[in-house]
Amino acid sequence: MARPPPLGELPPGYTPPARSAAPQILAGSLQAPLWLRAYFQGLLFSLGCGIQRHCGKVLFLGLLAFGALALGLRVAIIETDLEQLWVEAGSRVSQELQYTKEKLGEEAAYTSQMLIQTPRQEGENVLTPEALGLHLQAAVTASKVQVSLYGKSWDLNKICYKSGVPLIENGMIERMIEKLFPCVILTPLDCFWEGAKLQGGSAYLPGRPDIQWTNLDPEQLLEELGPFASLEGFRELLDKAQVGQAYVGRPCLHPDDLHCPSSAPNHHSRQAPNVAQELSGGCHGFSHKFMHWQEELLLGGMARDPQGQLLRAEALQSTFLLMSPRQLYEHFRGDYQTHDIGWSEEQAGTVLQAWQRRFVQLAQEALPGNASQQIHAFSSTTLDDILHAFSEVSAARVVGGYLLMLAYACVTMLRWDCAQSQGAVGLAGVLLVALAVASGLGLCALLGIAFNAATTQVLPFLALGIGVDDIFLLAHAFTEAPPGTPLQERTGECLQRTGTSVALTSINNMVAFFMAALVPIPALRAFSLQAAVVVGCNFAAVMLVFPAVLSLDLHRRHCQRLDVLCCFSSPCSARVIQILPQELGDRTVPVGIAHLTATVQAFAHCEASSQHVVTILPPQAHLVPPPSDPLASELFSPGGSTRDLLGQEEGTRQKAACKSLPCARWNLAHFARSQFAPLLLQSHTKAMVLVLSGALLGLSLYGSTLVQDGLALTDVVPRGTKEHAFLSAQLRYFSLYEVALVTQGGFDYAHSQRALFDLHQRFSSLKAVLPPPATQAPRTWLHYYRNWLQGIQAAFDQDWASGRITHHSYRNGSEDGALAYKLLIQTGDAQEPLDFSQLTTRKLVDKDGLIPPELFYVGLTVWVSSDPLGLAASQANFYPPPPEWLHDKYDTTGENLRIPAAQPLEFAQFPFLLHGLQKTADFVETIEGARAACAEAGQAGVRAYPSGSPFLFWEQYLGLRRCFLLAVCILLVCTFLVCALLLLNPWAASLIVLVLAVMTVELFGIMGFLGIKLSAIPVVILVASVGIGVEFTVHVALVLLRGADSTHTPRPPPWARAAACAAVHPGPPTRGGTDVQGEPGGPEPTSCTRRRAQVGGSPHPSPELCQSDYLHDRGPPPTPTAWCLRPPGL
């Protein structure tokens, strides 16, 4: 059997078709848009032909370039910091964060570990001794956590946050206080003696058992130590803080406990306390003055009687405060415990993270499974771990998804007929898209765009879907080239027909993602930019590299090789078809053959004896498929046609009868062409569609008014996890947020005290701010500072009136009176710092409640050094920090009278608690109120801004809808410009934009009906959906435009269509290696007649056999002539 000639060779005398005819005709018809579109398609045709000529080189260079870019993934950075992910760079919040970090460092605040207890039975009361006993069990288990790192053991007492440890000159007392000083733990157990069990500090004194908070009475201890050390200053400090008997003076939750102290109020009665009554009004730490835990911090789901008394609650909460990594590093820097391990801030962070993970684990396992209560534990490290886990690329998930797509592409493009199969093309296409996605992400990494959870979890699959869509489109178009397309122009023809559609959709997708980058959220902006880059890489791979794959597959078919297993020859290459012309008469062509169009080469010569023209089918003539077949212009027969020609004689009529059944030939294309399109073109159908579309648009407009803003953290954390259960309980019962009002530098604090008080009052009047108890002063440093000055002023007045303090001596006065003496004589002048005449002529606080400006910074130094508990409770975080100064009442040198003034403040803050924030509208209202208060203070010269998580993560909602509307409008304008430029039809571009706008409105309205809240994530999805919607609208528009173009082109006459039917095929035709051999059964008639093609010995009805140059008796044609087998009437 003769092998087909090489793919690149042409037969002698071949003349390529004139492809510029269409543009010339269109230009001659003065249809510039059509001419320009044809010109653009001509460029795509030239590109495809060039790729086909150099397919191997293009494929090698393309894979090399994409592979090189994919190596950029080695430098990819995954961002998990919430501030970096959610705070817009360059925004006012970003600038405020930067200012805070410049003054206080990266980690300035303590970290919180929380336990929430809820009943397993909904609505059950937890204010019972039994429920609190279970809470105690879980809290004690969590407080005893120890981790071993760097050869050291780390427990809660070493790493917890301790508020205001006083400085004591007595070394022994100082070491004892350092060991005993309690951790800050906000818990409902502090209302009872059992709260002391959470404190792990202990100290030893000779002749006494170990001193712990469970048996420590500070008043009794000071009396015992009084004869051995001077503790007057320390005693006054404890008295001011209202420490009293600390925990041993509180009732026992379980009075039957053997360790319940005798000083407990219910020790002798052995009666369980009234839990609701004890918790009413909140609890206190070891200091009643500075450590008051309000009810809202401890109890959730509270119910009260008409008089406001607490009756019941549904949740309990305990909060353990730990030092920040920087604080822990500073605390142990230079300590003997860490001198041999190279102590660093990174190690401090590692210790805290390990302890927090262990804390959460043990707390959740503290209660038995059959307990009536359940414990939810959470820490800041838990959230970081969730983000890290969610941001990590799941190799199994990605590989599994791509393997499924590989299987889908291979199965859908694989055919039993090896000549039609494109399984290898599908596999190569999916792998090419995977490489393009990797190269796009690698390019993003090289450009410095940080990855996040959206990049690693969503983008690979989104890009795969978009890229594979174009792969299928090109592969399908490659099999439907017009009949008579030369082999060397197959790829060019494919790009000419589908390149415009692929370019439009890809460009619009890129524009859509670029427009989504307008959303002011760094995480989603990075995702949008990465998606745009990946779509661009997909576009380059589909338009440049994938046509090379199609060209190689065409070469495989030409060489008669199997699909996928291309090393083996096709089994259908040995089949032979004989076509014998026979009269068909008026009989109907069966369905199985009605769509067969074949082209064979024939040689005609005139016999000298009969003077008749004889047409001979040479041994190496081959079949070419019809355009309606899925592989229309392939070199081997289509599935149906090949099976019909190679079918056995006895089964031919049965197959034809079977194929005549409607169910046998039904498919989606047949339904769309025969039923759906005619129905849609009817007038009443059009009217109904318009009415329904208008109704849907109206409903969507109404639904858009129902869309609310918001994104709860519970929507991000996977459901069914312990973290989700904690966040749900916290959102339901403890919607509290710690915030601060930060005052900056750039103004004089000493002369702006009234404006600072007004700012605090304005901020406190916000609805969401939790007010302090009526018996407690506001928790701000300015109030604490002023109250402390008023207290020592009162002590001085008493000492002065009693004569214990005079102009020349204060040694007989109290500690507070001596401090006031030193402050009153300060002038604030470096040349003359002291003036003793001011002792009776001035006050530390004037009648308006303001501190004299010349004393402001001097007094600040004294207050910070003398009232550590008040300073810690105020959470002032001064920068620059005031200098340390130790007061010594018995100093006789006079040097102690000179007090260094603190430097002008550049950073200070007022702490607040926000409550009742459930909806995004509540957050927005609070943010707007806080910003308005800061703006009003700015007019008075005070520079301030709010700080805290609500102002970080909910600030975006102030302008989110504006950003969404701006992005959609710009995207629609860009879509119009791109479509108008490539389609050169403004009306079509306008219709596309109108459909996209309606689609966006409908999607937005559906969100309202489904209760989906608007946040940055849905905004990106909505903006991207506009670009993805172009995939459908542009395809339909291009088809309609082509149809409209054909209506403006004159239809050729029948003789011209007959000539087109018999167009010369470039190169020796082949059909999957099937040789067509035969001879005419008689002299060829001078006109086209109906004949019968015979395979073997069985007659088959054949389509019309016509010769392109109308053979007649004038003699044989000088070159081989193509015959066209087609149904009558085509």
DSSP of 1010-1048, one letter per residue? HTPPB-HHHHHHHHHHHHHHHHHHHHHHHHHHHHHHHHH
Measure the CA dihedral 302/305/308/311, to 10°: -40
Beta bridge partners, 463, equal none
Give residue-wise pLDDT tens across range 78-100.
Answer: 887 777 777 777 788 888 888 88
* The token pair that represents 702 in the structure block: 């109404």
Quote the tokens at residue 460: 């690979």
CA distance 887 to 890: 9
Judge whether residue 440 has pLDDT over 80: yes
- CB-based burial, 288-321: b 16+ in 10 Å, e otherwise: ebbbbbbbbbbbbbbeeeeeeebebbbbbbbbbb
Beta bridge partners of 615: 604
Rounded to an integer, what distance in angstroms lies between the CA atom of residue 207 and that of residue 225?
12
Tokens 């009687």: give the residue: 305
The answer to whether 190 touches 257, Cβ cutoff 8 Å, is no
Phi first, then psi: give them for residue 382, nearest 5 degrees. Answer: -60, -45
* CA 1124 – CA 627 distance, rounded (Å): 13
> Taking all residues of the chain, what is their mean pLDDT, rounded to a whole number?
76
* pLDDT the model gives residue 16: 45
Residue pair 600/1076 in contact by the 8 Å Cβ criterion: yes
State the virtual CA torsion across 251, 256, 260, 266 in degrees, nearest 10.
30
Residue 826's pLDDT band, with cuts at 50, 70 and 90, is: confident
- Between residues 610 and 325, which one has the greater pLDDT? 325
Least reliable range by pLDDT among 652-666, 986-1000, 1048-1062: 1048-1062
pLDDT over threshold 50, residue 622? no
817, 798 in Cβ contact below 8 A?
yes
Asked whether 1130 and 628 are in contact (CB, 8 A), the reply is no
Task: Give yes or no for a contact between 536 and 508, defined as CB atoms under 8 angstroms apart.
Answer: no
CB 519 within 8 A of CB 1034: no
Of the candidate ranges 49-53, 129-133, 531-535, 598-602, the one whose mean pLDDT is the lowest: 598-602
Q: What is the model's pLDDT at position 439?
A: 93
Phi, psi (deg, nearest 5) at residue 145? -65, 135
pTM of the predicted model as reported, rounded to 2 decimal places? 0.70
- What pLDDT digit, counting tens, does each position of 36-61 carry? 767 778 888 889 888 888 888 999 99
Choose from 181-190, 597-606, 704-713, 974-983 the range with maximum mean pLDDT. Answer: 181-190
Stretch 569-573: mean pLDDT: 56
- Closest C-alpha among 1108, 1109, 1110, 1101 to residue 1128: 1101
What are the pLDDT digits (tens) for 1034-1071?
Answer: 777 777 776 655 544 444 444 333 333 333 333 333 33
Q: Cα–Cα distance between 882 and 785 in angstroms, integer?
A: 13
What the block records as the tokens of 584 is 């068909």
User: For a pLDDT cut of 70, what percent of the chain falls above it?
Assistant: 75
Beta-carbon contacts of 848 under 8 Å, excluding residues fewer than 6 positions away, are: 754
Mean pLDDT of 1090-1112: 35
Is 164's pLDDT higher than 70? no
Please report, rounded to a whole number, the percentage of residues in the chain having pLDDT higher than 90.
20
With CA atoms as reference, report the closest residue to 14 among 1122, 1125, 1127, 818.
1122
pLDDT (0 to 100) of residue 536: 92
User: In this predicted structure, what is the pLDDT of residue 229?
Assistant: 66
- Who has greater pLDDT, 453 or 925? 925
User: Quick count: other Cβ atoms within 10 Å of Cβ 205?
Assistant: 13
**Phi, psi (deg, nearest 5) at residue 197:** -65, -20
Taking the C-alpha atoms of residue 576 and residue 617, their distance in angstroms, rounded to an integer, is 14
How confident is the model over 302-355, as pLDDT tens digits? 998 888 889 999 999 999 988 888 888 888 888 777 888 888 888 988 999 999
Residue 923 identity: F
What span, in angstroms and rounded, lies between the C-alpha atoms of 48 and 495? 6
CB neighbours of residue 665 within 10 Å? 13
Element (H, E) at 434: helix 423-446
Q: State the Rg of the chain over Cα.
A: 43
From residue 709, alpha-carbon distances to 177, 785, 923, 1011, 1013 in Å are 51, 41, 10, 10, 5
Selection from 612, 477, 639 nearest residue 1072 by Cα: 639
**Cα separation, 994 vs 25, whole angstroms:** 32
Instruction: Give the Cα separation of 182 and 160 in Å (integer).
Output: 9
Higher model confidence: residue 440 or residue 1072?
440
Q: Which amino acid is at 1128?
A: P
Which of the residue ranges 413-427, 447-461, 537-551, 568-582 would you say has the lowest mean pLDDT? 568-582
- Collect contacts of 431-435 with beta carbons under 8 A, ≥24 apart: 431/406, 432/471, 432/541, 432/542, 432/545, 432/546, 432/549, 433/463, 433/464, 433/467, 433/468, 433/471, 433/538, 433/541, 433/542, 434/402, 434/464, 435/63, 435/66, 435/67, 435/70, 435/541
Structure-model confidence comparison of residues 461 and 126, the more confident one = 126
pLDDT at 987 exceeding the cut of 70: yes
